[in-house]
Amino acid sequence: MAAEMIAQAGFKVSVYDAMPSVGRKFLLAGVGGMNITHAEPSPQFLSRYREARDHLAPMINAFDANALRTWVEGLGIETFVGTSGRVFPKEMKAAPLLRAWLHRLRDSGVSFYPRHRWLGWNSDGVLRFRIDAAKGEHQEHLVSAKACVLALGGASWPRLGSDGAWADLLGEYNIAVARLQPSNCGFECQWSEVFRTRCAGQPLNTVTLSLTDLQGQQHRQRGECVITEAGIEGSAIYAISAIARELINRDQRVRLTLDLLPDVSEQKIIQLLQKPRGKDSQSNFLRKQLKLPPVKLQLLRELTSADIWQNPTQLAHAIKSLPLELIAPRPLAEAISSAGGIAFNELDNHMMLRKLPGVFCAGEMLDWEAPTGGYLLTACFATGRAAGLGVVDWLGQ
């Protein structure tokens, strides 16, 4: 996006990418449907960026969800708004969008150099790259540039190129970088071997998660989860991952509650549990009366004591407020995105590093995070655009 802004202003642009081809994480984001942005109102949209809202708001307001949709459609890709408010290309794929974009960039004179891994600068301020040949032979390549945009990503999915190695390189110039941490990630739980064996990989459909953040505010998230061998993941967990991670950082663990039947009141559950059980086992009785699938029954047994099952009132309360302890986020390499990055006070209003004039930064390497739903890509587009315009202003001066 930065390259597009700079090239449109008439400057020669070269894009260097460590991977054999460009846009690999962009393509990954399109697996299962390319969620490009979100159609919700601006105040709610901006609130998704939490503490970074005020820093990102000017850039996102300058290139918001509607502007992004118009831009995508300018590449010949139709978009639509899904029932959840998420915006997708009509074909639900990232590859056609990326192909059209790269074609337009090349037509505007942008050059691409894959297999070029950035190594920082030499003593003369010249950019250093390691060219990774396919056969494992490496050579160094030096590039003098009037301006440089770093768009190196966070540290999730390192096999796609964003490994966070840049943090140490910028640290040599005393640039403050908040520790990179997993965001939109799964969490580890202390499952019993029996539960792990029986339930790993099972979907936990339509539940509501509740937890209280560091400021004492309660958050509720309805959605889907998946039981894993290590713990739990899925869209509902991802949505509260930032809050859960912060609580674990402070307390080494966090307890949230699960509502296994969010559409049935606790009183109604008590009434159903008070019906005669007849010859049914407890599990069959619960399955018939409450339509609880096996994985929810197993989870209920895993997280409650045996005596609760003899008391309809206590069992109903457990079904509506089942305590689940998360002990650690899953590793950063598994996360959808990352939190942390370059502190915004290290940048001027044009996204240029104050300590490195002529060097601009954009995307996920900045200190912000957001839930899935199109917010991540929107902020990457908006900050890339802002950095590109910053370069144009810098070169103009």
Residue pLDDT, tens place only, 132-162:
877 767 899 999 999 999 999 999 989 998 9
Residue in 296, 2, 337 with CA at minimum distance from that of residue 162: 337
Looking at residue 217, its pLDDT comes to: 93
**Rounded Cα–Cα distance for residues 319 and 261 (Å):** 7
Looking at residue 341, its pLDDT comes to: 97
Looking at residue 266, its pLDDT comes to: 93
Looking at residue 290, its pLDDT comes to: 87
Looking at residue 251, its pLDDT comes to: 94
Looking at residue 219, its pLDDT comes to: 94
**Rounded Cα–Cα distance for residues 39 and 82 (Å):** 9
How much of the chain, in percent, has pLDDT values that exceed 70? 99
Looking at residue 137, its pLDDT comes to: 76
Residue in 242, 186, 332 with CA at minimum distance from that of residue 47: 242
Residues of the chain with CATH 3.50.50.60: 2-182+338-396
* Cβ pair 302, 192 in contact under 8 A: yes
Residue pLDDT, tens place only, 217-234:
999 999 999 999 999 999
Q: In the chain, which stretches have pLDDT less than 50?
A: none
Looking at residue 37, its pLDDT comes to: 96
Looking at residue 291, its pLDDT comes to: 87
């144009």: which residue's tokens?
A: 392
Looking at residue 101, its pLDDT comes to: 97
Looking at residue 274, its pLDDT comes to: 86
- Class (C level, CATH) for 2-182+338-396: alpha beta
- The per-residue b/e assignment along 328-359, b for 16 or more CB within 10 angstroms, e otherwise, is bbbebeebbbbbbbbebebbeeebbbeebeeb
- State residue 94 phi and psi, 5-degree precision: -90, -30
